[in-house]
Chain A
Amino acid sequence: MSVETHGHSNPHHEHPDVVGSRNRLGVILILVADIAMALSVLFVYFYLKGQNVNDMWLPAATEDSPAILALSSKGTWYITALAGLGAAAHFYGLKGARAKNATQLVLGGGVALVFSIAALVYQFMQISSAPFTTTSGAYASCYFLIAGLNALHLVLTVFIALGNWNRSRLGIYAADHWHVDIVNVWWIWMTVSSLLGAFALSFA
């Protein structure tokens, strides 16, 4: 390999766009792993539903226990809606960042944070108020799996939204805003994954 030893002479000052592009690709690749897991969860759900082993997808009533009925998927769609609103609020803040409008950035980030907390609280309420337990057959198992993973996503989202809002508030994104762009990627995926869960639970 022939080389010439000239080129970038200052290694410590890469252009923010270069750093941003690199970080964006890294986040997308990590999301590939998360997407693979989300699709696997859907596979688990529809596989077990399709197999209905021993008629235990939704167990019938016995002498000891009532029949297990599928939950209305409305609640999961509400959570998806909250996530979508959060994503929209974040995107509003991102547009502010691009326009160098600090107030819009802070406002968008703050509202997105509130929506993420609301979605998380609602998700926990939904899990805790389920009319069955983890031992209630395959549907119930899948329900808790999907809800649990969505709750995990929402916990991460709250952390990220909090950090993003705090950094916006401190004026850290005044010079460049690639962090906000990357957080936007996360918000989009988080909403899509919530939607996939809601979609699956609509076909009980």
Chain B
Amino acid sequence: MTTMMDRSASAPGHAAGKRPLIERLNIVTALVLGTVSAVVVWQLALRFLPETPETSLFFNREDKISLLSLIGWFVGFMTGIGALIGPFRWALGKDLNHDENMFLAGKDQGIKRYFRYTTDHKVVGIQYLVITIIILFVGGTLAMLIRTNLGHAQGGWIQPQTYNAIVGWHGIIMIVATIIMITGPFGNFIMPIMIGARDMAFPRLNALSFWLIVAAVPPVFISFFTGGITTGWSAYNPLASQAGLGMNGYIAFICIFAISTMVAGANITTTVVKMRAKGMTWNRTPIFIYGVVASVALALPAFPVFFLSQIMSGMDRAFATSFYNTAGGGSGWLYENLFWIMGHPEVYVILIPSVAALMEMAPVFTRRPLFSFNLAVMGIAGISGLSVLVWAHHMYISGWAPLLNAPFMLTTELISIPTGMLFLVLIGTLWRGRLWMTMPTASIYALLWNFMIGGITGIYLSDVPADAFLHGSMYVTAHFHYTLMGAGLTGALASLVFWFPKMTGRMFNKTLSWVSFWLVQIGFNVTFIGMFLVGLAGQPRRVESYAEVFSRGNLITTMGAYTIMAGMLVLLHGVISSWRSGVKAPMNPWQSKTLEWTVPNPVPLENFETLPVVTSDAYGYGKAKS
């Protein structure tokens, strides 16, 4: 291993030739220690936990053992990756010195830094990009299993309970992937450079937020082999309390992911508030930054509620408490409230950064200033504010508080207004612009189309009488795919192509980006318009077989899904081939005016030799002096 550390100076007293602990920890030690801890806790629990008393209603010894083992995995993994070194060194009064911090930053470590608790925001950004691709790949594969089974009315080649588990697994991991797909890779790699900072405010917390996600993934993957998530991604209680052991993997996954989200939210917000370059006033701060901050600021108070809901779900399973068990004084509505208090802001956690990223690209590819920057900021703020007041529109049909249906219908429909502002900003920027037609430019049009359909169909679902008919049908599934995938993922894929040169030093293959774009967008619209039609005709969601009358619509949907798959595989090929052997990218291939394009490729460890002083906004295209 090559390091810059002067060991005799940085770690006095350790034996010559023996590497300090901080250098020995990596993903291998994390996996080994996590696995060993889980097995040890499992065996201890088997030996010492008393048998289940017969009087308990739901008390389950296996749930306790399973949850304890998952906690053991988590603690072992985080210890093995080195997450606890910082806090314990702080408590001992032995703060990390400059050389150790440089080691943690990954200086001169080559590819090995991607497998360590590396604090450099650029490394963390790449780590996020890779894990997002992996999660999307797994989630996409599951989607293809679902669609293949639904290609025929009788389904049949997947057992019903396995099908339920696949649907639940697909749902939750896609939700997580879409939450992190912008703020993870681009929020970490691009955002600090874009605001003129050398790193994130808390580099160690940055590494922590990433490795927490890595620690969270195995429990949810293992859950598939221990009964699966048969409740759907929302894991409604008391159904979840009575589901198989796989549900414990879901609980562990959500709890760990929620911690990661909270940590990332605090870190990103602090970075933007405190570390913007001199002269970068709020009016000169790029709109993408607003999108990222709005996303993480929404997540910051929302995910602790989800965390708590899962803690209580785990307690109901393992300790037979009565939070959701009506026989013991609990309430299923309690879970629904807690879940959707997180669940609806979460939609905008996904959506806002994608739209903001495309608003960032629109001026670049039209060579025009962003149309009404202030309106864009107001739109983002309006959506963020209203999004915490709409959660119960998911519960109209549940019977909870019917008197509140009308107010929640009103707040939900009000959200159309700030959403319309964002549409206006995008259309206003494109209007009469000198278009440079690239895949990101086309993605702006795709987003406008998809988000328009997603938004308008959402208005019907927010309407109580219409929802009474549409609730629980494939129409709902099509609607949220139009927003999360049609708008959210479209923005993320455009971001990938746009910032690929800065992140990898290579241009994304133009042909492959176009082929992928058209396959995905055509496939997407075929898939989900077909799904709207069968939903309107009455096909319920989350079923593994259906009446013959829905056959044609489902066949069309499945064909569309295969087209999306082809497009995503082309994109994956584009990522790998362009990264390995693409054309070397110039420093600023798009002639953009934001700060990330002022640093060379590869971006130096501390980004800027001297910190920049900003003297104008980032959208001065077409002006005499900008």
Name A residues whose Cβ lies closer than 8 Å to a Cβ of B. 1-9, 11-12, 21-23, 25-26, 29-30, 32-37, 40-41, 44, 47-48, 51-57, 59, 64, 134-135, 137-142, 144-145, 159, 162-163, 166-167, 169-170, 172
Q: A76–B341 Cα gap in the complex (Å)?
A: 29
Q: Does B334 contact A (CB under 8 A)?
A: yes
Q: Does B305 contact A (CB under 8 A)?
A: yes
Number of contacting residues on B, CB 8 A?
Answer: 75
The answer to whether B270 and A6 touch across the interface, beta carbons within 8 angstroms, is no
| Contacts known (A138-B322, A145-B312); A2 close to B263, Cβ less than 8 A | no
| Contacts known (A7-B278, A30-B263); A54 close to B626, Cβ less than 8 A | no
The answer to whether A33 and B610 touch across the interface, beta carbons within 8 angstroms, is no
Of B59, B300, B301, B606, which one neighbours A135 at CB under 8 angstroms? B59
| Contacts known (A135-B56, A145-B315); A47 close to B334, Cβ less than 8 A | yes
| Contacts known (A3-B613, A26-B267); A52 close to B606, Cβ less than 8 A | no
- Chain B residue at minimum C-beta to C-beta distance from A141: B321
Q: A33–B315 Cα gap in the complex (Å)?
A: 21
| Contacts known (A8-B610, A33-B266, A166-B91); A3 close to B328, Cβ less than 8 A | no
Which residues from A are CB-within-8-Å of B95? 172
Which residues from A are CB-within-8-Å of B625? 2
- Chain B residue at minimum C-beta to C-beta distance from A18: B274
Which residues from B are CB-within-8-Å of A54? 326-327, 329
Q: Does B29 contact A (CB under 8 A)?
A: no
Q: A5–B301 Cα gap in the complex (Å)?
A: 38
Of A7, A29, A35, which one neighbours B612 at CB under 8 angstroms? A7
Which residues from A are CB-within-8-Å of B312? 44, 141, 145
Which residues from A are CB-within-8-Å of B611? 7-8, 11
Q: A21–B328 Cα gap in the complex (Å)?
A: 48
Q: A52–B329 Cα gap in the complex (Å)?
A: 6
Least Cβ distance of A196 to chain B in Å? 14
Which residues from A are CB-within-8-Å of B509? none
Of A30, A40, A55, A145, which one neighbours B305 at CB under 8 angstroms? A40
Which residues from B are CB-within-8-Å of A169? 93
Q: A165–B392 Cα gap in the complex (Å)?
A: 47
Q: Does B601 contact A (CB under 8 A)?
A: no
The answer to whether B612 and A56 touch across the interface, beta carbons within 8 angstroms, is no
Least Cβ distance of B520 to chain A in Å? 32
The answer to whether B614 and A3 touch across the interface, beta carbons within 8 angstroms, is yes
Task: Describe A's contact surface by its main secondary structure.
Answer: helix
Which residues from B are CB-within-8-Å of A35? 301
Q: A51–B140 Cα gap in the complex (Å)?
A: 42
Q: Does B557 contact A (CB under 8 A)?
A: no
Q: A37–B615 Cα gap in the complex (Å)?
A: 41
The answer to whether B274 and A21 touch across the interface, beta carbons within 8 angstroms, is yes
Q: Does B408 contact A (CB under 8 A)?
A: no
The answer to whether A22 and B262 touch across the interface, beta carbons within 8 angstroms, is no
The answer to whether A141 and B301 touch across the interface, beta carbons within 8 angstroms, is no
Least Cβ distance of B559 to chain A in Å? 44
Of B93, B303, B323, B620, which one neighbours A44 at CB under 8 angstroms? B323
| Contacts known (A7-B610, A51-B331); A141 close to B265, Cβ less than 8 A | no
The answer to whether A11 and B612 touch across the interface, beta carbons within 8 angstroms, is no
User: Within B566-615, which residues are at the interface with A (CB < 8 Å)?
Assistant: 593-595, 598, 606, 608-615
The answer to whether B331 and A37 touch across the interface, beta carbons within 8 angstroms, is no
Question: Top 4 nearest A-B pairs by Cβ distance?
Answer: A56-B329, A138-B329, A163-B91, A29-B266
Q: Does B273 contact A (CB under 8 A)?
A: yes
The answer to whether B308 and A25 touch across the interface, beta carbons within 8 angstroms, is no
- Chain A residue at minimum C-beta to C-beta distance from B284: A1
Q: A138–B595 Cα gap in the complex (Å)?
A: 55
Least Cβ distance of B474 to chain A in Å? 33
The answer to whether A29 and B265 touch across the interface, beta carbons within 8 angstroms, is yes
| Contacts known (A3-B598, A7-B612, A166-B92); A135 close to B308, Cβ less than 8 A | no
The answer to whether A48 and B329 touch across the interface, beta carbons within 8 angstroms, is yes
Most buried by A among B196, B202, B322, B610: B322
The answer to whether A25 and B321 touch across the interface, beta carbons within 8 angstroms, is no
Which residues from B are CB-within-8-Å of A135? 55-57, 59, 319-322, 328
- Chain B residue at minimum C-beta to C-beta distance from A22: B274
Which residues from A are CB-within-8-Å of B43? none
Q: A146–B329 Cα gap in the complex (Å)?
A: 17
